[in-house]
Chains A and B, each alone.
Chain A
């Protein structure tokens, strides 16, 4: 039996799911209509909680619990869909947006209803122009069909949706930076507390959920929360799209039950390593995750197991490295990315990332010195845990994990610089 379990990805590549009628023929919007007509928002929240769904954007926070933090104080509430997918190695939301825009839309509408919001937003990464156009067309269809607007299905429930396009900053995927950007401000994370649940968009109670998280909702409603909860590990249940890239034969998005082993994901889903090449390392959760190695491959791919092994599944992006990899260059690519994307407002991230990036640049230029190894270790370590948001804490994990494992590669550059460069 194949490890691949298409739920959110069902029909992709076979059906034109961008078309409203095709999506409807697959059962689309039935759950939204049912929710509005038959379920209270509290019932939708309850089903979400019971499904055990955890956020698919990276942090893995239980979705139902996140919703339940909203205060009942009569203020307007906002549902914001985070489609600013930009973590190197992650490309699942991109696909969902372009291939199944109605599923994403229905998820947002269900989420909004579940928290009692009458205005939802989707923040689409600026580079996803095609996805934006496809989603906008889907929104137009859905609005014409009466799924968005006022007095939906005659229930008296109003629900509006605003599309906002980002302007090209990775940091805007961080939920409070996203809210600032959405408000037209500079995209930098906010100081917390207060958290978005209390003071989010325009200072109102707000939930920010990932695309895949929300797109899971129609399926949870259709099949029942137990159906979702019983798949995979108890505390990390459900289906998950894993973006596999790197030195594998068939990179791509693969939807599996959480708990599938990484070895299965690499060998079975992605077709294994390139011919004649040996597995060396994998980042299980995108650029900000620490590498895991051969000895970890049989671990269950789920939030808690991978966290226990010292890494994270993040948004579900496995980057696989074989024995051709120069881990100094790989570390440089990762660190340079985070240094470049730092918003610069807090000290460790602004200064530390730049320092490490410049050091690695010099090492790769053949001008490294032995003391650089110590700087790489300690600077990475001392900038972690002191930052305003998670970006600054994302520099160390990959660097430290490969430096620990492949220190000889780094040493080769700084002890016999010219030889290593050649």
Chain B
């Protein structure tokens, strides 16, 4: 007997047809009937704890919970009648017995399910005369979250999120009965890259974000719908603004890219926009000092420098990976019209190859039988992608293999491979659907991935590739033409310009007159800081558009203050190659311009015609469409001859990523102080023992004359032996100072010695 694929039932007299296995809470939505829930959540499933979703099913003597009752053929369900109303009223009365009812000072007020359901289904008076049970208030749960145990209704959504979605299992219920509290299993702080999601899951005001506490009310927030610009994933976000400042960002539950979750970087890095260090006027270097100039003068100086250059071949532009799609198109059009072939978006060590050619969709990742993470784990570069991997591994039993010195995230069972050629041997027969998640750093690895794909395609194996980086619009920058070899949509060019490495080499050789950075900070992010500094020192006119004086823009001739991703409308391309609209939550601040306005002004000064809005839109659409079918680019043709990992005797340097590293928005957001990584060096325990170092020691790492100091030594058994890992892109400890083939020397930091009495 085969099961029918659909069942028919009646809900409050309305006939509905739902797929077999549908829960009544979901079936009721079809009948447009509301069943209140607290513990149930679409993405967490039923828990049967809160009991507020009571319904009457004819033929069953007791009220049933809608969240765990499956619709069956011919079922007759009542979501509202005297019996159901009475049951719900009872549950809500119980929930309020010990609830503090401090709605006037509760951040959740106005968007609280307890408030709403009590108003809709509850009673308006209390029968309690014994006072309320007191529980801990304002519990500091970790760096991001505060917990009010009295408001908590123990629905355990947070605990189940931590178990079923992140698989980190640090949140638990402690004690029992009316003394139940939410806590961490080890009484250690609740630290997770996804901690902020619990504040959205919490149906009441128990879990709140430190960044949002007492800041605003739902009805005082103005909401803009955007796309997160903190990494390459491009999660949809709601941006809440009050009185000209962002109060919070929230996930969009139905957003496909993010599956409705946000990482803490995306959620909490929101306050940099009104940081005091934000640039509010163009700066021009005059007698070694950056002095304020007007926008007219600034654009005039830039245009003058470009026109004064002997040849467009002596001009180059870098960056674009943080710009909107239309701005990228304007950027490349402007410089190509000017005659400059030297354009490249790849300004960080992790942005060197192929980011713009995703060949896997989110659905393919979800259905993959094997996921192979090559290089930096996406948990530290594109966290929400890591959640999608965890889902594929835990829910759909995908096999996870990590290649390289790092494991692919600690909460996921995985196999390790040192090299890509070991991967094939780890895949069982019958593995047909594979997705690579590559950090895009080492072109050699990219070539090996490309070779495997070709080899496998003849054996009926399909392998997609996702290139995950921290750069928000890497995909767009490449697909829309900020590339030395391709125009928009991977249109091959008659002749290639210089890539980033070539541009820096030309700069060092005195072959460039003007170099502009468009939202780029290569002094911190390029794999070798000294090359960039030497190039900048020799190029007469360096322009940087940025929000802040960064390690790069502080060295520029002309610094132009621009708008952040929260301050302009447009589209960005997400990790899966789709254009995502962004609605400005805030106006461009006084004194700054959007990159688009800057480019238009420069074009006018140069008398170059840029494409109009309509043609930009159609160009964007065509280019992204073409990009989707472009073959994987490993950067081989451009990056040949440049070795990322030089031959170095002894200890090898590995660069770990941290989502809160970087010299831009994260470094200029004072409200995420506690989340920024401390400078650390990590060794595998046996290597540390051999070298004679113990965890916690303060160490300096030297390579030739360069050194990075005051690193706290950590041990991590998942790291490869004879490797020392530093967090990349950390302003106070820039690991890119140590690039080269000089042997690494690890020494204990010399602290001031006590002066003998």
Given contacts A351-B97, A388-B49, A388-B51, is CB(A344)–CB(B176) below 8 Å?
yes
Distance in Å: Cβ of A188 to nearest Cβ of chain B: 8
Would B94 and A347 count as touching, CB distance under 8 A?
A: yes
Could you say which residues of chain B place their CB within 8 Å of the CB of A352?
94
Would B180 and A351 count as touching, CB distance under 8 A?
A: no
Q: Which of B115-141 contact A (CB under 8 A)?
A: 127-130, 133
Q: Indicate whether A350 reaches chain B with its CB closer than 8 angstroms.
A: yes
Distance in Å: Cβ of B650 to nearest Cβ of chain A: 45
Could you say which residues of chain A place their CB within 8 Å of the CB of B68?
191, 193
Complex partner residue of B130 from A343, A345, A348, A359, CB under 8 angstroms: A359
Distance in Å: Cβ of B36 to nearest Cβ of chain A: 12
Complex partner residue of B94 from A186, A339, A383, A385, CB under 8 angstroms: A383
Would B176 and A169 count as touching, CB distance under 8 A?
A: yes
Given contacts A186-B172, A345-B173, A386-B54, is CB(A351)–CB(B95) below 8 Å?
yes
Would B49 and A347 count as touching, CB distance under 8 A?
A: yes
Q: Indicate whether B47 reaches chain A with its CB closer than 8 angstroms.
A: yes
User: A393: nearest residue on chain B (CB-CB)?
Assistant: B62
Distance in Å: Cβ of B21 to nearest Cβ of chain A: 12
Given contacts A339-B178, A388-B48, is CB(A348)–CB(B172) below 8 Å?
no
Q: Which of A340-358 contact B (CB under 8 A)?
A: 340-348, 350-355, 358
User: B127: nearest residue on chain A (CB-CB)?
Assistant: A375
Q: Indicate whether A199 reaches chain B with its CB closer than 8 angstroms.
A: no
Complex partner residue of B178 from A342, A362, A369, A383, CB under 8 angstroms: A342
Q: Kindly specify which of B83-91, B330-338, B357-365 makes contact with the partner chain.
A: B83-91
- How many angstroms between the C-alpha atoms of A313 and B123 in the bound complex? 37
Distance in Å: Cβ of B217 to nearest Cβ of chain A: 28
28 A-B contacts, Cβ less than 8 Å apart? A186-B172, A193-B68, A341-B176, A342-B178, A344-B175, A344-B176, A345-B156, A345-B180, A347-B49, A347-B52, A348-B51, A348-B90, A348-B94, A350-B94, A350-B177, A351-B95, A351-B97, A353-B178, A354-B97, A355-B97, A355-B130, A371-B127, A382-B87, A383-B94, A385-B63, A386-B51, A386-B63, A386-B90
Q: Indicate whether B98 reaches chain A with its CB closer than 8 angstroms.
A: yes
Query: Residues of B at under 8 Å CB distance from A?
Result: 46-52, 54, 62-63, 68, 86-87, 90-91, 93-95, 97-98, 127-130, 133, 153-154, 156, 172-173, 175-180
Could you say which residues of chain A place their CB within 8 Å of the CB of B98?
351, 354
- How many angstroms between the C-alpha atoms of A350 and B99 in the bound complex? 13
Would B97 and A344 count as touching, CB distance under 8 A?
A: no
- How many angstroms between the C-alpha atoms of A388 and B179 in the bound complex? 18
Given contacts A191-B68, A359-B130, is CB(A344)–CB(B95) below 8 Å?
no
Could you say which residues of chain A place their CB within 8 Å of the CB of B175?
344
Distance in Å: Cβ of A169 to nearest Cβ of chain B: 7
Q: Indicate whether A387 reaches chain B with its CB closer than 8 angstroms.
A: yes
Could you say which residues of chain B place their CB within 8 Å of the CB of A191?
46-48, 68
Complex partner residue of A346 from B48, B90, B133, CB under 8 angstroms: B48
Given contacts A344-B180, A354-B133, A359-B130, is CB(A383)–CB(B49) below 8 Å?
no
Binary contact track A161-191/B, C-beta < 8 Å → 1, others 0: 0000000010100000000000000100001
Would A385 and B176 count as touching, CB distance under 8 A?
A: no
Would A351 and B94 count as touching, CB distance under 8 A?
A: yes
Given contacts A345-B156, A347-B153, is CB(A186)–CB(B173) below 8 Å?
yes
Would B180 and A350 count as touching, CB distance under 8 A?
A: yes
Could you say which residues of chain B place their CB within 8 Å of the CB of A342?
176-178
Complex partner residue of A385 from B62, B128, B154, CB under 8 angstroms: B62
- How many angstroms between the C-alpha atoms of A346 and B67 in the bound complex? 14
Query: Residues of A at under 8 Å CB distance from B?
Result: 169, 171, 186, 191, 193, 339-348, 350-355, 358-359, 362, 369, 371, 375, 382-383, 385-388
Complex partner residue of A355 from B86, B87, B128, B172, CB under 8 angstroms: B128
Given contacts A341-B177, A350-B177, A385-B62, list 13 more A-B pairs with CB under 8 A. Answer: A169-B176, A186-B172, A191-B68, A345-B49, A346-B50, A347-B153, A348-B90, A348-B94, A350-B154, A351-B94, A351-B178, A355-B128, A362-B129
Could you say which residues of chain B place their CB within 8 Å of the CB of A358?
130
Complex partner residue of A344 from B50, B54, B130, B177, CB under 8 angstroms: B177
User: B175: nearest residue on chain A (CB-CB)?
Assistant: A344
- How many angstroms between the C-alpha atoms of A341 and B97 in the bound complex? 19
- How many angstroms between the C-alpha atoms of A375 and B128 in the bound complex? 9
Would A346 and B49 count as touching, CB distance under 8 A?
A: yes
User: A341: nearest residue on chain B (CB-CB)?
Assistant: B177
Complex partner residue of B173 from A344, A348, A375, CB under 8 angstroms: A344
Given contacts A191-B68, A339-B177, A343-B177, is CB(A386)–CB(B128) below 8 Å?
no
- How many angstroms between the C-alpha atoms of A263 and B607 in the bound complex? 110
- How many angstroms between the C-alpha atoms of A387 and B175 in the bound complex? 19
Which 9 residue pairs across A and B have the least CB separation, nearest first? A351-B94, A354-B178, A344-B180, A382-B90, A191-B48, A342-B177, A358-B130, A344-B177, A385-B62
- How many angstroms between the C-alpha atoms of A223 and B98 in the bound complex? 57
- How many angstroms between the C-alpha atoms of A354 and B97 in the bound complex? 10
Would A340 and B177 count as touching, CB distance under 8 A?
A: yes
User: A343: nearest residue on chain B (CB-CB)?
Assistant: B176
Could you say which residues of chain A place their CB within 8 Å of the CB of B90?
348, 382-383, 386
Would B51 and A346 count as touching, CB distance under 8 A?
A: yes
- How many angstroms between the C-alpha atoms of A359 and B86 in the bound complex? 22
Could you say which residues of chain A place their CB within 8 Å of the CB of B176?
169, 171, 341-344
- How many angstroms between the C-alpha atoms of A385 and B60 in the bound complex? 12
Distance in Å: Cβ of A174 to nearest Cβ of chain B: 13
Could you say which residues of chain B place their CB within 8 Å of the CB of A388?
48-49, 51
Could you say which residues of chain B place their CB within 8 Å of the CB of A353?
177-178
Distance in Å: Cβ of A176 to nearest Cβ of chain B: 11
User: B86: nearest residue on chain A (CB-CB)?
Assistant: A382
Could you say which residues of chain A place their CB within 8 Å of the CB of B154?
344-345, 350
Given contacts A191-B46, A344-B154, is CB(A387)–CB(B94) below 8 Å?
no
- How many angstroms between the C-alpha atoms of A196 and B437 in the bound complex? 40
- How many angstroms between the C-alpha atoms of A110 and B46 in the bound complex? 37
Could you say which residues of chain B place their CB within 8 Å of the CB of A371?
127
Distance in Å: Cβ of B298 to nearest Cβ of chain A: 63
Would A347 and B128 count as touching, CB distance under 8 A?
A: no
Distance in Å: Cβ of B135 to nearest Cβ of chain A: 12
- How many angstroms between the C-alpha atoms of A191 and B47 in the bound complex? 7
- How many angstroms between the C-alpha atoms of A355 and B97 in the bound complex? 8
Could you say which residues of chain B place their CB within 8 Å of the CB of A383?
90, 94
- How many angstroms between the C-alpha atoms of A339 and B173 in the bound complex? 17
- How many angstroms between the C-alpha atoms of A344 and B173 in the bound complex? 9
Could you say which residues of chain A place their CB within 8 Å of the CB of B130?
355, 358-359, 362
Would B51 and A344 count as touching, CB distance under 8 A?
A: no
User: A189: nearest residue on chain B (CB-CB)?
Assistant: B48
- How many angstroms between the C-alpha atoms of A358 and B132 in the bound complex? 10
- How many angstroms between the C-alpha atoms of A71 and B150 in the bound complex? 44
Query: Which residue among A342, A351, A371, A387 has the maximum number of chain B CB atoms within 10 Å of its CB?
Result: A351
User: A187: nearest residue on chain B (CB-CB)?
Assistant: B176
User: A346: nearest residue on chain B (CB-CB)?
Assistant: B49
Could you say which residues of chain B place their CB within 8 Å of the CB of A350?
94, 154, 177-178, 180
- How many angstroms between the C-alpha atoms of A383 and B51 in the bound complex? 11
- How many angstroms between the C-alpha atoms of A388 and B39 in the bound complex? 13
- How many angstroms between the C-alpha atoms of A358 and B127 in the bound complex? 13
Distance in Å: Cβ of B187 to nearest Cβ of chain A: 16
- How many angstroms between the C-alpha atoms of A294 and B173 in the bound complex? 45
- How many angstroms between the C-alpha atoms of A385 and B63 in the bound complex? 7
- How many angstroms between the C-alpha atoms of A348 and B65 in the bound complex? 13
Could you say which residues of chain B place their CB within 8 Å of the CB of A382?
86-87, 90, 93
Could you say which residues of chain B place their CB within 8 Å of the CB of A340?
177
Could you say which residues of chain B place their CB within 8 Å of the CB of A171?
176
User: B90: nearest residue on chain A (CB-CB)?
Assistant: A382
Distance in Å: Cβ of A356 to nearest Cβ of chain B: 10
User: B52: nearest residue on chain A (CB-CB)?
Assistant: A347
Distance in Å: Cβ of B401 to nearest Cβ of chain A: 26
- How many angstroms between the C-alpha atoms of A369 and B129 in the bound complex? 10
- How many angstroms between the C-alpha atoms of A342 and B97 in the bound complex? 16
Could you say which residues of chain A place their CB within 8 Å of the CB of B129?
362, 369
